[in-house]
Structure 1
Amino acid sequence: MLTYACLTALVPGKKQPAIRVKIVRTWMSPFGSIRPNTCMVFGDEKGSMIETTLPWGVVLPYEINLDEGDWFEILDFKLIHASGLIRTTRSKYHINLTHDSVVTKIQPITECNFLFCASYKTLLRGLSHPKFCIGLCGALVEVGDIQDFSVAQANQFNQGFQPRIRFTQVKCVVYGDLAEKLYEYWSSTTANVVVCVLKLWRIEWGNGRFRCLTNIEGCSDILFDPEIPEINYFQSM
């Protein structure tokens, strides 16, 4: 019988135990490359997350599809130290899948959505480390016109930290396909209030302080009116 480990218990340098994880996010990187790797964020039943790579050319047994939102049991993978200026998770490590990896689709273990939204106060006070991507939920209050890539599209989100009294605004800049997705939704919606969640966005600093949130092409996402507790609370305010 297999013994499963939590992601926080994994240690490099030895044979790794089996893990059971949900694919929280998947994208291709480097963006636009003719031989991109498949990048993913895994989450386990304890709520921990780790970034994972399926390198170009590595074919998993039975050509299994690694679809976002599905749960998998995984054996025989390589664990390395995480690197890079921007990380999608706070894990010190990174999983690489190999030709020897055994991946089996399983039934969901938990209903966790892995949308851990940051505090507006913490973000604006500069207490959120810019190395790590964050999530954010709030109401969309303004969307600018789509502009050239060098200028970008500036948007603002707000979230009440004192219900119906005052609001905090956070500037966001979105590029590429996600900018088009946002603009199309904003232009077509008839809702009085558009509530959304930013998923895996990075923090940009300038002049020693928080400047804005921006997306990582292919990795970041924006969800409109999702059915999650944070959004239900916001809509009830």
Structure 2
Amino acid sequence: MSSIMFFSEFELPLKNPVVRVKVISKWKDASAIIREETQMLMGDEKGNTVLGTIVDEIMIRNECIMFEGEWYEIHGFKLMYNFRRFRVTTNRFHVFTGENTIINNVPARTDCNYYGFKEFKTILRGLAHPMYSVDVYGAMVSVGDLEHVGAPGGPMIPKMRFSLVNPGYKHLNCVAYGRNAVEIDAYWNYTRANVVLCVLSFWQIERLQGRFTFITNIEGCSRIKFEPNIPEIIAFRQLIPPNAY
């Protein structure tokens, strides 16, 4: 029987590989033409992440449709180097299912949130590599109206501009599209809180002429959590003055 591997142990070649993963987010890849595939950002028990491409037919064959937030064991997968220009994880490998891949649902293993927060100054100074996604947290300010934008003749998609402020009062410009934009608009119009704290996970850095402009979401992959019960948000909340922002 093969032992469970952690993502940090990945090396080529693999022999009878088995991993135990949590599905952090899943989405459809518009470039998948020949067969239906699902992209998944997965985490292991040590807090590491990896990108996976799961063929839908493999899930159906195993009678195991993979859902966000659930844990699974994957046996007999394939491993390739990740050569994508933008990567949602720093892991250099990409997991693929094969014809003999077996997927089983397993009990939850850990409540890790998989956050790896970047300081605002690191992003603003251009020290965070735009090839990789970032996680940030802060207070929402300068929240704009929900817009709908699109190319001529193309579909219109929701868009929302806002900024985050960190405990040091540094501002980070943000632009959300699609589902995340609608989610932000709904929460912002619903809440009665004077200050809204949130976490943006797996967002992309945008630059213009070598300078930081804003961070934006990756449709289907990026996540936003409002007022999560984590140490960083709890500590931030305690620092907020009565008439903040």
Task: In structure 1, give the amino acid aligned to 2:8.
Answer: T
CA contact (8 A) 2:137 2:197 kept: yes
Task: In structure 2, give the amino acid aligned to 1:95.
Answer: V
1:32–1:60: structure 2 CA closer, same or farther, 3 Å change rule? closer
**Equivalent residue for 2:167?**
160
Counterpart CA distance in 2 for 1:19 and 1:81 is: 17
Task: In structure 2, give the amino acid aligned to 1:137.
Answer: Y
- In the alignment, is residue 208 of structure 1 matched against residue 215 of structure 2? no
**Equivalent residue for 1:134?**
134
Counterpart CA distance in 2 for 1:206 and 1:16 is: 45
1:169–1:150: structure 2 CA closer, same or farther, 3 Å change rule? farther
User: How large is the RMSD of aligned CA atoms in angstroms?
Assistant: 2.1
Q: What TM-score, normalized to structure 1?
A: 0.90
Counterpart CA distance in 1 for 2:119 and 2:225 is: 18
User: Which runs of 5 or more residues in structure 2 are unaligned?
Assistant: 152-158, 240-245
Q: Percent identity?
A: 35
- In the alignment, is residue 71 of structure 1 matched against residue 75 of structure 2? no
Task: In structure 2, give the amino acid aligned to 1:70.
Answer: E
* Residues 23-73 of structure 1: CA deviation (Å, up to 9, x unaligned): 122122228989652111111112111000113543454421211111112
Q: Secondary structure at the match of 2:24?
A: strand
Displacement, 1:137? Answer: 0.8
* Residues 167-202 of structure 1: CA deviation (Å, up to 9, x unaligned): 011000111222121112111210111111112110
Counterpart CA distance in 2 for 1:36 and 1:149 is: 28
CA contact (8 A) 1:60 1:103 kept: no
The 5 A counterparts of 1:65-214 are: 65-149=65-149, 152-161=159-168, 167-214=169-216
- In the alignment, is residue 13 of structure 1 matched against residue 13 of structure 2? yes
Runs of 4+ displaced beyond 4 Å: 31-36
Q: Secondary structure at the match of 1:58?
A: helix
1:231–1:179: structure 2 CA closer, same or farther, 3 Å change rule? same
Q: Secondary structure at the match of 2:170?
A: strand
Q: What TM-score, normalized to structure 2?
A: 0.87
Counterpart CA distance in 1 for 2:117 and 2:82 is: 22
Displacement, 1:98? Answer: 2.5
Q: Secondary structure at the match of 2:99?
A: coil
Counterpart CA distance in 1 for 2:106 and 2:68 is: 13
Task: In structure 1, give the amino acid aligned to 2:164.
Answer: F
